[in-house]
Amino acid sequence: MTHSTGQMRAAILVAPETIEVKDAPLPEVPSEGWSLVRCNYTGLCGTDFSILHGTHPRARFPLIMGHEISGQIERSSAGGPPEGTRVTVEPLISCGVCVACLAGNSHVCTRLELFGIDRPGSLAEYVALPNDRLIPLPDSISELQAALTEPLAVAVHAVSLAKLEPGSIAAVFGAGPIGMLTGLVARHAGAEVIFIEPGAERLAVAAELGFRTAPADTDPIDFLMDATGGAGADVVFDAAAHPSVAAILPAVTRPKGRIVLVGVYKKPAEINLQQLTFREVEMVGVRVYTRADVERAVQLIAEDALNLEEFPIRVVPLDDVQKGFDIAMASGRVLKVIVDTSGRT
């Protein structure tokens, strides 16, 4: 530990595609209402890829990324969790005064920011965080699985917006990390889940996790109509955010069904609004998660409700963070790369 010297190891994104793992000053911790968190594990996600490429609209260099956080309290101010408490993090920063915040919907704050994107994150030995963003972990959660809380909270939020009922048929487009977690949560909620995914490796992972999958060479409309007796799926989760998926979403959703946009479209996409209208299909977007979703995600992990030990992860040490990004961005079998910032790996 380099703590006493006021230095820490950190992965610093100094320019697009340029991560330097080196010594950096310890984060400054405001004395009121903040804690210094020792980082254990941090998951890499698609948002980090766009930051790395220099295409994220808000991120500025230099930046310590990392918002999928598992850590423990090193030092806290009055009212914070006691030293040593293991925590995960709700990394949202809301303004508190916009129309969304005032209505109690701070996760759709019009000026929403995140630790790890707009402020320093956890790809380092330490991160400073406000106490009200820290969520103590139950003993039954491993520090490694705790790093899955944040993406799992997105899936929990998506499923909460889907209004699934036991026996509902849910189609999930995209078997990446968010799609797969959404499938797991939807199945836990009682839905029958079918995956549509063009990548052979990720399709195989979905099948290994026990999901029904559409063969890559079939037409997804034909497959889903066959699978639903010609009705269409009750709920369609779009975790692909690809124009080819937008083009067919209404066609594979049953009348009065629901489309849940889990992925984020980077550009406007064409969608058949006439089909949406004629079927009275509802379509809803998903922006991160609420506090309740994060707490539910912690609970699902603690109860081992989703068999997450079968979820294909790869752990890399902080020094190998670039290699970790390469693995994550290859979109292969590994669904989540988790960086060990504790020095143990």
In the chain, % helix, strand, coil (3-state, to 5) comes to 30, 30, 40
C-alpha dist (Å) from residue 251 to 136, 186, 243, 276: 44, 21, 14, 8
The count of residues interacting with Zn ion (CB under 5 A) is 7
User: Per-residue x/- mask for Zn ion, residues 43 to 82, rule CB under 5 A?
Assistant: --x-x-----------------------------------
Rounded to whole angstroms, the Cα distance separating 185 from 221 reads 24
Answer for which of 21, 93, 98, 231 binds Zn ion (CB under 5 A) is: 98
Nearer to Zn ion, 147 or 233 (CB): 147
95 binds Zn ion (CB under 5 A): yes
Which segment (6-14, 89-97, 219-227, 297-305) binds Zn ion by CB under 5 A?
89-97
Which segment (38-46, 227-235, 299-307, 323-331) binds Zn ion by CB under 5 A?
38-46
Q: Which residues 142-201 are close enough to bind Zn ion by CB under 5 A?
A: none
The answer to whether 21 and 10 have CB atoms below 8 angstroms apart is yes
Reading the block at residue 330, the tokens are 């290859």
Say whether the peptide bond before residue 62 is cis (omega within 30 degrees of 0): yes
Supply the minimum distance, in Å, between the C-beta of residue 177 and Zn ion: 9
Nearer to Zn ion, 46 or 317 (CB): 46
Structural element, H or E, at residue 212: strand 212-213
128 binds Zn ion (CB under 5 A): no
329 binds Zn ion (CB under 5 A): no
Rounded to whole angstroms, the Cα distance separating 257 from 323 reads 42
C-alpha dist (Å) from residue 111 to 1, 107, 115, 183, 227: 36, 10, 13, 30, 42
337 binds Zn ion (CB under 5 A): no
Rounded to whole angstroms, the Cα distance separating 246 from 268 reads 10
Nearer to Zn ion, 95 or 302 (CB): 95
109 binds Zn ion (CB under 5 A): yes
Nearer to Zn ion, 216 or 264 (CB): 264
Q: Which residues are at the interface with Zn ion (CB under 5 A)?
A: 45, 47, 94-95, 98, 101, 109
